[in-house]
């Protein structure tokens, strides 16, 4: 497989003579021989002359006023074989050259701190994958920009082994890696954790991250000792634009529309009277909330044609002060209008002995959402000298959401329900706005002290938060009697909630790196540590507005009919707000990590391993709910996480890669808080935390065959095995001795997760195919009930597991005409969406086929037009329990058209 000498030079020669010029012009484009992507920044020199040029971001160059004659050209680019070309220029001629370069066959080498690999290009991604000592999959900015996707979540779900777990509305999206719930993965920004804006979990909502501000996303499926160990499924590392070595400017703008709004109106509400703080929070202590403290305008809904979705963004990179000071500024703004039409139900056995399930609590709802996401990246680096560099990075993510939700909930079983088409229908009208932010400020340095010894450090301040002021719901009810007659609609009350949470994290990181060469072998010893202090503060204040107990003439009132928000009268049932709320809690986490690692590289193999120690100290506190109940607590534990790998070069650019690592999964902050609010509700279950919940430990084994034939072509075939002790799952428990059933996180019996993964990219001239396939099979058993309330422990997959995932994209690249087309198909097999409370009544998501298309075309110098279309098959999300439909979400296709300027 040696073809590093294979050398292709394509020349298309167009001669054009004019009588009066004595000089000639060379115009051309330099591109990767395999991927046919233009190669920006490559250097075109005419030997023995002063003429030279650096290609622009698309690989185009132009050399003017060159005297006629014969010349030798030299074309160089980092990572590519130097290429020479002999040309003859006639006076007045414009010579068109299309030059293809071949990648160098480089030795295995980890990207070093001063490395020049271009992470924005797919070829750079393959370099990362090839040289990393752990198993990673990388997608580059170039591939993301060209894909049909605009958010990190959507990009991720096309990567090998990843699915995205979404909330109903589709605005919360978390990565499920290799069938492991989001809790088993961590999310990093430039290799360092970011704070979570969620009020309960530790996750970061990937749907709010515009992919345009990223230079790559790396998923690590095995860990090395210098990586944080809470990634049993894997690590998602979002790498933002960084370290410019040349000036660039890019701008992009697009406009789009959701197909849902071709035949649905958008339902909006006014946000003008929404107060940031609740009545009690904005008034002096002791204040009693009055009916007039609650606005009506945010519960006044009207329909209109949906506005188009728009995106706009730019990035600018430049080096100042004789290239010592690098500067990056990038921003991307997405303002989207989307919606969904949904159905949701629960499935229950009726009190017959067959155990057959019936739908209950059938809820038809529609959501209309405006979501504005903005990502801002600022970076400064200062190269003190060739051995010392300081970086300052700031990453700011802001997301605003305004959502209208209309529910029509028909309880089919229980009071008043006798089957479909009769019974009580609870109509709920909800408006909510939400502000999410994530900010990450990092100061870091890299220092080469001697040829053998280097170190790097970082200090990070990360904040994240969520503000949901005045989430307001109107509750109404009517009854469809058994004779089909419908009663009037009654006003059941209004709920108002103010919720906010703040996370703050302070991290310090230090890594020491010693390397020594012995002939062609190299020994590397690394050691380092991490300190992090994280705190979370959650505050929630709820109000219950009820129909007045007395009517206008002073006598007792029945529940009034609902005649619109403008006529509604209410009393504030809890004028002091909520003095206790299970969602008001504080939590802190202090982590000390230390590690030592050793790595040895020989000509044909390399091996490494080490040990990481993670010390965790978690605390929580809440207000007291019932006397004697715990109001604060915590956990302290320390785990040793060994890891090792071995990589063998089977043949040129073909490797066999083994790895083992032990990982940890810490409970979410909220899950340790044992109080759970109201102990008795008429229906449904109380949700509780569990202060004795144990963290999970997992042993992970991986094997992968890796082949990098040429360019960004690759083939990976691998398998993995995971054994998880104390896996955490949310379960229905209790009920013993007649007590209440509660929903709480518990440690299940040990689980295993085995699977296989394959991914590849292959080109044939202008055509390419890239794809991946993942098979996952996990087994876990936890407590479920029979309809007779007996405890059983059936074996089933872990929550979130998808059995088969296929991604397949067809690519067409025509460098000459600057056109690119990608058709992306995805198959997501059966997914265990949620476990049911009854054995055998788990919620499975039906397999889904989705199709998306994107394309771009250079329209003139610097300008490219692009188009993206998603969900072309109008694929709904559907969940079933034993053939009973319990969830259906329909989103429809989305379309967008845009233009990009590149300098």
Q: Which of residues 602-661 bind another protein (CB under 8 A)?
A: 623-628, 631
Sign of the CA dihedral 54, 59, 62, 68?
A: positive
Give the Å distances, CA to CA, from 842 to 454, 557, 728, 845, 887.
53, 44, 17, 10, 13
Binder among 29, 154, 309, 409 for another protein (CB under 8 A): 409
Binder among 544, 617, 621, 752 for another protein (CB under 8 A): 544
Can you tell me the distance from the alpha carbon of 31 to that of 59, in angstroms, rounded to the nearest whole number? 6
**Length reported for the chain:** 903
For the CB of residue 786, give the shortest distance to another protein in the complex, in Å. Answer: 9
For the CB of residue 607, give the shortest distance to another protein in the complex, in Å. Answer: 43
Looking at residues 661 to 690 of the shown chain, list those that interact with another protein (rule: CB under 8 A). Answer: 677-685, 687
Can you list the positions of beta strands (E) in 547-676?
A: 571-572, 585-601, 605-622, 632-651, 654-665
Taking CB under 8 A as the rule, does residue 111 contact another protein? no
For the CB of residue 626, give the shortest distance to another protein in the complex, in Å. Answer: 5
Can you tell me the distance from the alpha carbon of 306 to that of 261, in angstroms, rounded to the nearest whole number? 6
Nearest CB to another protein, comparing residues 135 and 357: 357
Nearest CB to another protein, comparing residues 576 and 588: 576
**Per-residue binder mask for another protein (CB under 8 A), 704-733, x = binder:** -------------------------xxxx-
Taking CB under 8 A as the rule, does residue 171 contact another protein? no
For the CB of residue 206, give the shortest distance to another protein in the complex, in Å. Answer: 23
For the CB of residue 195, give the shortest distance to another protein in the complex, in Å. Answer: 27
Can you list the positions of beta strands (E) in 262-387?
A: 266-269, 301-304, 309-320, 325-349, 357-385
Taking CB under 8 A as the rule, does residue 402 contact another protein? no
Helix (H) or strand (E) holding 189: strand 185-189
For the CB of residue 422, give the shortest distance to another protein in the complex, in Å. Answer: 7
Cross-sheet strand order for the sheet of 83-89: 52-54, 43-46, 69-76, 83-89
Can you tell me the distance from the alpha carbon of 244 to that of 325, in angstroms, rounded to the nearest whole number? 10
User: Other C-beta atoms within 10 Å of 646: how many?
Assistant: 16
Taking CB under 8 A as the rule, does residue 414 contact another protein? yes
Taking CB under 8 A as the rule, does residue 354 contact another protein? no
Token pair in block for residue 847: 């397999």
Give the Å distances, CA to CA, from 409 to 345, 406, 481.
9, 10, 15
Taking CB under 8 A as the rule, does residue 290 contact another protein? no
- The one segment of 191-199, 579-587, 802-810, 888-896 that binds another protein by CB under 8 A: 579-587
Taking CB under 8 A as the rule, does residue 321 contact another protein? no
Nearest CB to another protein, comparing residues 560 and 642: 560
- The one segment of 207-215, 265-273, 458-466, 479-487 that binds another protein by CB under 8 A: 479-487
**Per-residue binder mask for another protein (CB under 8 A), 172-211, x = binder:** ----------------------------------------
For the CB of residue 268, give the shortest distance to another protein in the complex, in Å. Answer: 24
Q: Are 574 and 543 in contact (CB under 8 A)?
A: yes
Which residue in 242, 6, 130 sits closest to 606, CA to CA?
A: 130
Token pair in block for residue 50: 């002063």
Binder among 114, 302, 580, 903 for another protein (CB under 8 A): 580
Give the Å distances, CA to CA, from 657 to 17, 646, 705, 724.
58, 6, 6, 22
Sign of the CA dihedral 186, 190, 191, 197?
A: negative
For the CB of residue 721, give the shortest distance to another protein in the complex, in Å. Answer: 27
- The one segment of 32-40, 450-458, 549-557, 587-595 that binds another protein by CB under 8 A: 549-557
Looking at residues 217 to 256 of the shown chain, list those that interact with another protein (rule: CB under 8 A). Answer: none
For the CB of residue 667, give the shortest distance to another protein in the complex, in Å. Answer: 16
Nearest CB to another protein, comparing residues 8 and 789: 789
Binder among 542, 639, 649, 814 for another protein (CB under 8 A): 542
Compute CA 691 distance to the chain's CA centroid, rounded to the nearest angstrom: 29
Phi first, then psi: what are they for 212, rounded to 5°?
A: -65, -25
Nearest CB to another protein, comparing residues 67 and 414: 414
Taking CB under 8 A as the rule, does residue 885 contact another protein? no
For the CB of residue 348, give the shortest distance to another protein in the complex, in Å. Answer: 6
Give the Å distances, CA to CA, from 38 to 46, 123, 705, 863.
20, 12, 29, 14
For the CB of residue 799, give the shortest distance to another protein in the complex, in Å. Answer: 8
3-state SS, one letter per residue, for 467-498: EEEEEEEEEEEEEECCCCCECCCEEEEEEEEE
Nearest CB to another protein, comparing residues 597 and 672: 672
Q: Rounded to the nearest 5 degrees, what angle is found at the Cα of 192, between the Cα atoms of 191 and 195?
A: 140
Taking CB under 8 A as the rule, does residue 424 contact another protein? yes
Nearest CB to another protein, comparing residues 519 and 883: 883
Nearest CB to another protein, comparing residues 445 and 797: 797
Looking at residues 9 to 68 of the shown chain, list those that interact with another protein (rule: CB under 8 A). Answer: none
Can you tell me the distance from the alpha carbon of 447 to that of 432, in angstroms, rounded to the nearest whole number? 49
- 234-240 and 214-220: which strand pairing? antiparallel
Token pair in block for residue 210: 């515009």
Total chain residues near another protein (CB under 8 A): 95
Give the Å distances, CA to CA, from 799 to 128, 721, 729, 751, 795.
31, 17, 8, 11, 12
Taking CB under 8 A as the rule, does residue 439 contact another protein? no
- The one segment of 50-58, 170-178, 513-521, 580-588 that binds another protein by CB under 8 A: 580-588
Q: Are 169 and 340 in contact (CB under 8 A)?
A: yes
For the CB of residue 674, give the shortest distance to another protein in the complex, in Å. Answer: 14
Q: Rounded to the nearest 5 degrees, what angle is found at the Cα of 769, between the Cα atoms of 763 and 770?
A: 115
- DSSP classification of residue 229: S
Nearest CB to another protein, comparing residues 356 and 418: 418
Looking at residues 741 to 770 of the shown chain, list those that interact with another protein (rule: CB under 8 A). Answer: 741, 743
Binder among 98, 382, 426, 514 for another protein (CB under 8 A): 426
Can you tell me the distance from the alpha carbon of 191 to that of 226, in angstroms, rounded to the nearest whole number? 10
Give the alpha-carbon dihedral of 870, 873, 874, 880, to 10 degrees: -120
Token pair in block for residue 870: 């998603």
For the CB of residue 755, give the shortest distance to another protein in the complex, in Å. Answer: 24
Sign of the CA dihedral 762, 764, 765, 768?
A: negative
For the CB of residue 710, give the shortest distance to another protein in the complex, in Å. Answer: 49
Binder among 252, 422, 446, 815 for another protein (CB under 8 A): 422
Binder among 118, 120, 361, 618 for another protein (CB under 8 A): 361
For the CB of residue 351, give the shortest distance to another protein in the complex, in Å. Answer: 5
For the CB of residue 697, give the shortest distance to another protein in the complex, in Å. Answer: 23
Looking at residues 258 to 287 of the shown chain, list those that interact with another protein (rule: CB under 8 A). Answer: none
Looking at residues 368 to 387 of the shown chain, list those that interact with another protein (rule: CB under 8 A). Answer: none
Looking at residues 482 to 521 of the shown chain, list those that interact with another protein (rule: CB under 8 A). Answer: 482-483, 487-490, 492
Looking at residues 809 to 868 of the shown chain, list those that interact with another protein (rule: CB under 8 A). Answer: 834-837, 843
For the CB of residue 361, give the shortest distance to another protein in the complex, in Å. Answer: 5
């Amino acid at each position: 497989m040696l073809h590093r000498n294979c050398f292709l030079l394509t020349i298309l020669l167009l001669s054009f003579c004019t009588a009066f010029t004595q000089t000639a012009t060379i115009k051309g484009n330099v591109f990767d021989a395999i991927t046919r992507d233009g190669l920006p920044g490559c250097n075109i020199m005419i030997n023995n002359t002063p003429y030279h040029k650096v290609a622009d971001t698309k690989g185009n160059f132009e050399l003017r006023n060159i005297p006629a004659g014969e010349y030798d050209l030299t074309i160089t680019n980092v990572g590519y074989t130097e290429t020479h070309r002999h040309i003859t220029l006639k006076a007045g001629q414009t010579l068109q050259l299309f030059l293809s370069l071949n990648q160098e066959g480089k030795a295995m080498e980890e990207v070093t701190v001063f490395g020049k690999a271009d992470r924005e290009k797919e070829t750079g991604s393959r370099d990362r994958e090839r040289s990393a000592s752990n198993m990673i999959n990388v997608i580059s900015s170039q591939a993301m920009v060209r894909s049909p996707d605009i958010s990190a979540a959507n990009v991720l779900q096309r990567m090998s082994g990843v699915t995205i777990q979404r909330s109903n509305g589709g605005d919360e999206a978390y990565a499920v890696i290799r069938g492991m719930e989001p809790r088993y993965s961590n999310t990093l920004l430039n290799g360092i954790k970011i704070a979570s804006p969620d009020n309960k979990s530790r996750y970061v909502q990937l749907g709010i991250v515009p992919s345009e501000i990223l230079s790559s996303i790396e998923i690590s499926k095995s860990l090395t000792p210098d990586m944080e160990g809470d990634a049993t499924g894997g690590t998602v590392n979002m790498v933002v634009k960084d370290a410019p070595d040349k000036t660039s400017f890019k701008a992009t703008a697009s406009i789009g529309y959701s197909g849902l709004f071709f035949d649905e109106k958008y339902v909006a509400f006014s946000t003008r009277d929404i107060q940031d703080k609740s009545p009690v929070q904005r008034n002096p202590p002791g204040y009693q909330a009055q009916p007039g403290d609650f606005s009506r305008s945010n519960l006044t809904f009207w329909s209109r044609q949906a506005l188009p979705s728009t995106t706009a963004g730019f990035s600018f990179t430049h080096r100042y002060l004789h290239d010592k000071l690098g500067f990056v500024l990038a921003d991307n703004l997405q303002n989207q209008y989307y919606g969904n039409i949904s159905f949701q139900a629960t499935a229950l056995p009726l009190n017959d002995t067959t155990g057959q399930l019936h739908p209950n609590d059938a809820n038809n709802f529609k959501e209309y959402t405006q979501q504005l996401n903005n990502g801002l990246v600022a970076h400064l680096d200062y190269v003190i000298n060739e051995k010392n560099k300081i970086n300052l990075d700031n990453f700011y993510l802001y997301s605003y959401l305004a959502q209208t939700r209309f529910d029509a909930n028909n309880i089919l079983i229980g009071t008043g329900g006798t089957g479909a088409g009769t019974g009580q229908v609870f109509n709920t009208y909800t408006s909510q706005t939400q502000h999410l932010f994530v900010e990450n400020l990092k100061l870091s340095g890299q220092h080469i002290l001697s040829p053998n010894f280097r170190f790097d450090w970082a200090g990070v301040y990360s904040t994240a938060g969520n503000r949901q002021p005045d989430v307001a719901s109107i509750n109404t009810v009517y009854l469809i009697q058994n004779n089909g007659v419908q009663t009037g609609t009654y006003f059941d009350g209004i709920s108002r909630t103010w919720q906010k949470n703040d996370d703050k994290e302070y991290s310090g990181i230090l890594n020491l790196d010693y390397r020594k060469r012995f002939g062609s072998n190299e020994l590397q010893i690394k050691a380092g540590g991490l300190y992090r202090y994280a705190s979370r503060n959650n505050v929630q204040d709820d109000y219950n507005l009820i129909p007045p107990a007395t009517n206008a003439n002073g006598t007792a009132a029945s529940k009034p009919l609902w005649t619109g928000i403008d006529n509604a009268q209410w009393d504030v049932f809890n004028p002091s707000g909520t003095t206790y709320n299970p969602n008001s809690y504080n939590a802190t986490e202090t982590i000390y990590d230390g590690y030592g690692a050793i790595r040895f590289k020989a000509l044909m193999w390399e091996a490494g391993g080490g040990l990481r120690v993670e010390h965790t100290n978690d605390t929580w506190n809440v207000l007291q709910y019932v006397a004697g109940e715990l109001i604060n607590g915590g956990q302290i534990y320390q785990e040793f996480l060994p890891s090792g790998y071995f990589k063998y070069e089977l043949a040129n650019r073909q490797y066999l890669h083994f790895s083992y690592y032990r990982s940890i999964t810490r409970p979410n902050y909220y899950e340790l808080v044992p109080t759970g609010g109201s102990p008795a509700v008429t229906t449904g279950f109380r949700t509780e935390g569990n202060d004795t919940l144990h963290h999970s430990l997992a042993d992970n084994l991986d094997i992968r065959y890796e082949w990098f034939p040429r360019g960004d072509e690759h083939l990976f075939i691998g398998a993995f095995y995971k054994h998880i002790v104390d896996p955490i799952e949310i379960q229905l428990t209790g009920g013993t001795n007649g007590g209440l059933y509660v929903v709480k996180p518990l440690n299940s019996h040990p689980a295993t997760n085995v699977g296989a993964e394959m991914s590849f990219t292959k080109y044939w001239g202008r055509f390419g195919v890239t794809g991946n396939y993942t098979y996952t099979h996990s087994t876990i058993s936890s407590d479920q009930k029979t309809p007779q309330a007996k405890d059983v422990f059936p074996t089933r997959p872990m929550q979130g597991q998808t059995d088969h995932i296929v991604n397949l994209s067809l690519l067409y690249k025509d460098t000459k005409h600057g056109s690119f087309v990608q058709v992306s198909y995805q198959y997501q097999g059966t997914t265990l969406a949620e476990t049911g409370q009854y054995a055998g009544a788990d919620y499975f998501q039906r397999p889904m086929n989705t199709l998306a298309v994107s394309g771009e075309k250079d329209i003139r110098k610097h300008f490219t037009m692009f188009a993206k279309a998603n969900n072309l098959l109008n694929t709904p999300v559907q969940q079933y329990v034993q053939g009973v439909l319990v969830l259906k979400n329909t989103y429809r296709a989305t379309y967008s058209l845009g233009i990009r300027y590149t300098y």
